[in-house]
C-alpha cells in the first residue's frame, strides 16, 4: 500500500508491514482484542488519516486491521486501531493540553518515529472531535480542547472509553473497536431515544463515521460516539453487590430501575414504531426448545431436569395456543436493548438510572443484534443479575434477591399501567406475561448452567436454583 496523506498534507511514511509487525506483538495484550489465543493472520486493509495540523510532529490516523483464520473455529473480524505517529523531535509545547501520554500507550518504534495507541493520546482525541458529526447545539469551540483530567478507562472489555471531563461540559468518548458495515446501535438507538423525548440514556453529542475502501469494496461504519458524562455515577452491578455485602436491600433502586426499563421499552416502541408487531408464539417455543436441546447435550444437571422442562414447554404451548384462539393480546415484538443487565446501567444521585451500551455482542452480525424481540428478554437480563449480585456480594439470604426481583417487577409493571405507556393495542394479561418471562429466564439460566460448568463450576448452583424455581422443584 502506498504511503497515505493526511488532511493537512502530512505524509504517513510507513508501510503496512512495519505497522503490522508492531501490532502483531501489541494487539494480543489488549483487553478488547477479540482473537486472544487464536492463531490469526492480520492484514492492514486501509489507513485513514485524521484531520490534524501535524501537532508539532504528531500525526493521528486509523489503521483498519482484519484478523482472519480459516476453517473450524474460524475468525473474521475488522478492527479499528487508532494510532498516533510521533516523529523524532516532536515539539512538546505543541502537544494538546492534557495529561502526559502514559508509557503503556507506546505500540512501538518505527523508522519514522514512535507509534502510540490513539485511544490514549490527546492528538487523536483532538482529531476525533474535529472529524465528528455534532448535534450543532452541543459542538464546543474547536481546538485547542481542554483535556485536563482526561484518561482512558481500564474496565471496558470490547471497546475503549475515554473520560473527557472538560469537553462539552463533561463527556465520555467511546471508540468502537470491532467494525461492521452499517449503523451501529450504540449510536443510532440513544439518538433515536433522545429524539423521542426519553432521556434515560447518556445524551449523544457527536459521532464519527468511516468510509472504508478496502480490497473487497467500499463500506461505511460508525466508529465512535461522544456522550454526556453521567455525574458521580456508580455501576449498577457494583452498587447492588455493595448493598448485598452490607446487608442492605436493593429494593428501592431496583424499583426505580424497573420503571426506567419500562420507560425505555415504551420509548423504543415510539422511536422504532415500524418494528412493533405481534409475536409468533411458535417462534418463542422453537427458540426455547433449541436452547433445551443444546443445554441438555452439554450438561448432566440439565438432563436430570428433562421431564420437568418438557412439562413446562407443554404448559407454555397450551397457554399460548389458548391465547391465540381467544384473541388474548401477548407482548409485542419490538426493538429492545438486547444485552441488558445491571452492568449496563449507571446510577447517579443527581440523575437516577441511565441505561447504556446498546451495541450488543460486537462479534455477532449486526442484523442479529438489531433483530426485534420481546421486552421480556431485557427484563430477564436484569432479574438474572440480581441472583449474581447476591452471590458476589454474599447476601445473607436468598430473600435479598427475591425482594429485589419483586421490587423491579413492581416498577416495570406499574409503569405499563400509565395511559399511553404501551403504545399498542390492549395490555397483555399479567398471567401470560409471567409465563413468557419465565420462559425467557429458563432460556437464560440454561445458557448460564453450561457456561458455569465450563468456566466456574462453583457457581453452577446460581442458575440451577433459578431453573428449579421456574420448574417448581
Q: Tell whether the torsion through CA atoms of 372, 192, 204 and 139 is positive or negative.
A: positive
8 A C-beta contact, residue 450 and residue 295: yes
Please report how many Cα atoms fall inside a 13 Å half-sphere around the Cα of residue 287, on the Cβ side.
17
Q: Among 261, 147, 139, which Cα is nearest to 201's? A: 261
Please report the pLDDT score of residue 294 as a whole number: 94
Q: How far apart are CA 260 and CA 423, in angstroms?
A: 16
Please report the pLDDT score of residue 322 as a whole number: 93
8 A C-beta contact, residue 354 and residue 233: yes
- 10 Å CB burial of residue 456 (0-12, 13-18, 19+) is exposed
Q: How far apart are CA 186 and CA 454, in angstroms?
A: 30
pTM, rounded to two decimals: 0.90
Please report the pLDDT score of residue 458 as a whole number: 96
Cβ atoms < 10 Å from Cβ of 3: 11
Q: Among 46, 116, 115, which Cα is nearest to 78's? A: 46
374: its cell numbers: 420481546
Please report the pLDDT score of residue 132 as a whole number: 95
Please report the pLDDT score of residue 8 as a whole number: 41
Please report the pLDDT score of residue 87 as a whole number: 83
Question: What is the average pLDDT value for the chain, to the nearest integer?
Answer: 90
- 10 Å CB burial of residue 208 (0-12, 13-18, 19+) is buried
Residues of the chain with pLDDT under 70: 1-13, 53-56, 72-73, 89-98, 137-138, 140-143, 156, 425
Amino acid at each position: 500500500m502506498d504511503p497515505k496523506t493526511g488532511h493537512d498534507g502530512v505524509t504517513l511514511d510507513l508501510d503496512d508491514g512495519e505497522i503490522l509487525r508492531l501490532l502483531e506483538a501489541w494487539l494480543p495484550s489488549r483487553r478488547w482484542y477479540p482473537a486472544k489465543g487464536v492463531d490469526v493472520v492480520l492484514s492492514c486493509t486501509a489507513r485513514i488519516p485524521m484531520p490534524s495540523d501535524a501537532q508539532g510532529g504528531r500525526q493521528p490516523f486509523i489503521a483498519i486491521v482484519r484478523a482472519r483464520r480459516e476453517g473450524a473455529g474460524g475468525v473474521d473480524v475488522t478492527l479499528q486501531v487508532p494510532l498516533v505517529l510521533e516523529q523524532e523531535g516532536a515539539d512538546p509545547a505543541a502537544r494538546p493540553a492534557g495529561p502526559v501520554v502514559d508509557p503503556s500507550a507506546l505500540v512501538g518504534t518505527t523508522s519514522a518515529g514512535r507509534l502510540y495507541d490513539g485511544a490514549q493520546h490527546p492528538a487523536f482525541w483532538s482529531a476525533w472531535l474535529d472529524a465528528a458529526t455534532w448535534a450543532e447545539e452541543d459542538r464546543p469551540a474547536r481546538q485547542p480542547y481542554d483535556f485536563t483530567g482526561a484518561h482512558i478507562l481500564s474496565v471496558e472489555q470490547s471497546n475503549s472509553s475515554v473520560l473527557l471531563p472538560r469537553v462539552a461540559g463533561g463527556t465520555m468518548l467511546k471508540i468502537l473497536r470491532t467494525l461492521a458495515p452499517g449503523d451501529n446501535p450504540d449510536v443510532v438507538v440513544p439518538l433515536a431515544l433522545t429524539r423521542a423525548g426519553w432521556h434515560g440514556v447518556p445524551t449523544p453529542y457527536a459521532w464519527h463515521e468511516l468510509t472504508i475502501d478496502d480490497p473487497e469494496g467500499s463500506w461505511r461504519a460508525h466508529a465512535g460516539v461522544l456522550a454526556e458524562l453521567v455525574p458521580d455515577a456508580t455501576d449498577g452491578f457494583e452498587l447492588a453487590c455493595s448493598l448485598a455485602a452490607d446487608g442492605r436491600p436493593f429494593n428501592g433502586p431496583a424499583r426505580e430501575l424497573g420503571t426506567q426499563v419500562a420507560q425505555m421499552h415504551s420509548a423504543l416502541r415510539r422511536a422504532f414504531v415500524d418494528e412493533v408487531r405481534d409475536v409468533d408464539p411458535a417462534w418463542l417455543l422453537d427458540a426455547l426448545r433449541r436452547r433445551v436441546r443444546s443445554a441438555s447435550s452439554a450438561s448432566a444437571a440439565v438432563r436430570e431436569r428433562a421431564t420437568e422442562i418438557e412439562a413446562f414447554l407443554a404448559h407454555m404451548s397450551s397457554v399460548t395456543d389458548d391465547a391465540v384462539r381467544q384473541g388474548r393480546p401477548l407482548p409485542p415484538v419490538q426493538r429492545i436493548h438486547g444485552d441488558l443487565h445491571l452492568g449496563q446501567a449507571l446510577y447517579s444521585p443527581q440523575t437516577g438510572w441511565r441505561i447504556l451500551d446498546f451495541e450488543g455482542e460486537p462479534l455477532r452480525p449486526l442484523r442479529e443484534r438489531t433483530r426485534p424481540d420481546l421486552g421480556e428478554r431485557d427484563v430477564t437480563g436484569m432479574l438474572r443479575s440480581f441472583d449474581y449480585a447476591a452471590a458476589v456480594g454474599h447476601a445473607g439470604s436468598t430473600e435479598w434477591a427475591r425482594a429485589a426481583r419483586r421490587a423491579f417487577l413492581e416498577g416495570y409493571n406499574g409503569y405499563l399501567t400509565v395511559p399511553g405507556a404501551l403504545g399498542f393495542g390492549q395490555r397483555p394479561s399479567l398471567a401470560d406475561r409471567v409465563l413468557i418471562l419465565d420462559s425467557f429466564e429458563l432460556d437464560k439460566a440454561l445458557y448460564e448452567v453450561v457456561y458455569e460448568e465450563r468456566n466456574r463450576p462453583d457457581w453452577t448452583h446460581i442458575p440451577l436454583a433459578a431453573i428449579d424455581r421456574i420448574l417448581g422443584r
